[in-house]
Each structure stands twice: as C-alpha cells, then as structure tokens.
Amino acid sequence: MKKVIRIIVGGVFILSAVSKLFSMESFELYIFSFGFTGFDMSSLLARFIVISEFLIGTFLSIGLFNKVVRLLTASVLAAFTSFLAWRAF
C-alpha cells in the first residue's frame, strides 16, 4: 500500500511539472505578478520549481533516495500549502 501511495504522489508531482512546462510563460508571469522579484529571477524560479517537481516526482516514483526525497516532498507540499493559504486570505 505504501508503494502505491508513493507512486501516486510521485505521479502527481510529475503531472504538475509537465502541465507547468506546457504553459511556462503563464507560470513565469504568475510568479512575476507577486512582485517578489524581477522578471528574469521569476523566469529562473519558475524553471527551478518545474525541474524540482519533476525530479522529486521521479525519485519518489522510482524509490531513490527515500529519506531525502520524503523530506523534500513534505517540505514542498508544506510550502505550496502555505502559499495557497496565504493567497486564499
């Protein structure tokens, strides 16, 4: 059961990365719209997020670097959840 859940969560990360990859310009503009950084840094940040999501999803699905990937997965999910909660309020 653990393996199935791990693969599903990994698949969600990969799907999220691929969907952002197809609309990279929109994702860059979305990050830029918050005004945290300039456009060049927003572009780099967008690419970093997409690559990170894809790698975390791949490693999680395959089962490589279990402890590190699980910690990264929890950290990324906490960060994204906090960001979305901030956006909701």
pTM of the model: 0.85
Question: pLDDT by residue (tens digit) across 32-50?
Answer: 998 888 999 999 999 999 9
56, pLDDT greater than 90:
yes
Check if the beta carbon of residue 17 is closer than 8 Å to that of residue 57: yes
pLDDT of 17-33, one tens digit each? 999 988 899 999 999 99
* Distance from C-alpha of 31 to C-alpha of 74, rounded to nearest angstrom: 22
Q: Are 45 and 29 in contact (CB under 8 A)?
A: no
Q: How many angstroms separate the CA atoms of 49 and 36, rounded?
A: 15
